[in-house]
Structures are given as C-alpha cells and as structure tokens.
Amino acid sequence: MYTVRVYIYYKSGVLDPQSGAIKATLSDLGFDQIHDVETGRFYSLKIDAQDISSAQAIANELCEKLLTNPVIEDYEFEIMEA
Amino acid sequence: MYTVRVYIYYKSGVLDPQSGAIKATLSDLGFDQIHDVETGRFYSLKIDAQDISSAQAIANELCEKLLTNPVIEDYEFEIMEA
C-alpha cells in the first residue's frame, strides 16, 4: 500500500485567472510583500501495488487518463510507503 | 525572500463532492487498486520578509484572511528560502 500525493498546476504561459484575482485582493488587503502567486490542486490517495514502480505506473496512468488536462496542466507526485 | 507552498484541504467530516465524483470514475475506468481519494488545492507564492518567522506570520495571516474558509478547511504550508 502506497500513499500518493499528486500536484497539478498550469503549464507556464497558461492563463491562471484565480491567481489574478488573488493578486488583486492581496494588494487591496495590504499584503505588498507577497508576489508570484500560482495556484494548483492536489489529490491524496492510496494505491494497492506490489512495489513502488507499479504504484508509480498506476499514478502516471491515473494522472494522464483522469486527473489532469494535459493540454494546459502539468503534474508531479510523491509516493510514500503507507 | 521565501518561497511558500500552502496546501488547503477539507476538514475531516466535511463533504468532498469532487472526491466522490473521482471515486465513481475510478471504478468505471477499472482503477480498483486506488482508494481513499481526498482533494485539495495549493498555492505557491513568494514572500519578502526579514526572516523565516516573519514569513511564517505573513503566511498564516494570508491563509486566515484570504485563502481558506476556516469553517470547512484546514491548511498547512512549507517555507523554503528562495
């Protein structure tokens, strides 16, 4: 059993509207020392696999088939033995 | 300058509808070895601060005032010197 955390974020150059909204609000709230905001999402899940390389293969397939939009998003993940 | 990554996720017991949708689709796609899916979002940002404890204080204030809904969400963050 492996615990996997998948992080998905926009490819560089892709418009990130949530980030634009946060930057505008940061300025309104006086957080002038914060910049370069990027947003993303993550998934935490468990995978039953024989070994870590099988778990990595399953996680890759999951990211490509279900969790990400490969046109505009990149992903990375970390795997820990649970 | 510090790079901060903030992770925000639902408190345990809060309904996570996106997770339910993913679980249903996992089963349809044949990913029977994946379970316990939880979802969250993250922000990556840079903070200008004198030292790491000031950066932590700013990051905490940011999470509480802007990034999270404290009624249903918890957060954690990691800080690296950039």
Q: What is the CATH number of the domain that holds A32?
A: 3.30.1280.10
**Residues of A numbered 40-79 whose beta carbons fall under 8 angstroms of chain B's beta carbons: which are they?**
40-49, 58, 61-62, 65-67
Its domain, for residue B58, covers 2-81
pLDDT at B79 over 90: yes
Confidence of residue B22 (pLDDT cuts 50, 70, 90): very high
Decide if B36 contacts A2 (C-beta within 8 A): no
Beta-carbon separation of A34 and B26 below 8 A = no
Q: Which of B25, B34, B39 sits opposite A41 (nearest CB)?
A: B39
Counted residue by residue, chain B has a size of 82
What pLDDT shows up at residue A67?
Answer: 95
Among candidate residues B36, B31, B62, the one with its CA nearest the CA of residue B49: B62
Decide if B79 contacts B2 (C-beta within 8 A): yes
Burial of B13 from C-beta contacts in 10 A (0-12 / 13-18 / 19+): exposed
* Domains: count for chain A: 1
pLDDT at A77 over 90: yes
Decide if A4 contacts A52 (C-beta within 8 A): no
What pLDDT shows up at residue A78?
Answer: 96
Classify A2 as helix, strand or coil: strand
What pLDDT shows up at residue A82?
Answer: 79
pLDDT at A71 over 90: yes
What pLDDT shows up at residue B82?
Answer: 79
Confidence of residue A37 (pLDDT cuts 50, 70, 90): very high
Mean pLDDT of B34-45: 95
Residue in B with minimal Cα distance to A43: B39
The model's pLDDT over B43-75, given as tens digits with 9 standing for 90+, comes to 999 999 999 999 999 999 999 999 999 999 999
Among candidate residues A40, A36, A58, the one with its CA nearest the CA of residue A49: A58
Residues of chain B in contact with residue A49, where contact means CB-CB under 8 angstroms, are: 33
Confidence of residue B34 (pLDDT cuts 50, 70, 90): very high
Among candidate residues B32, B40, B52, the one with its CA nearest the CA of residue B12: B40
Decide if B11 contacts B73 (C-beta within 8 A): yes
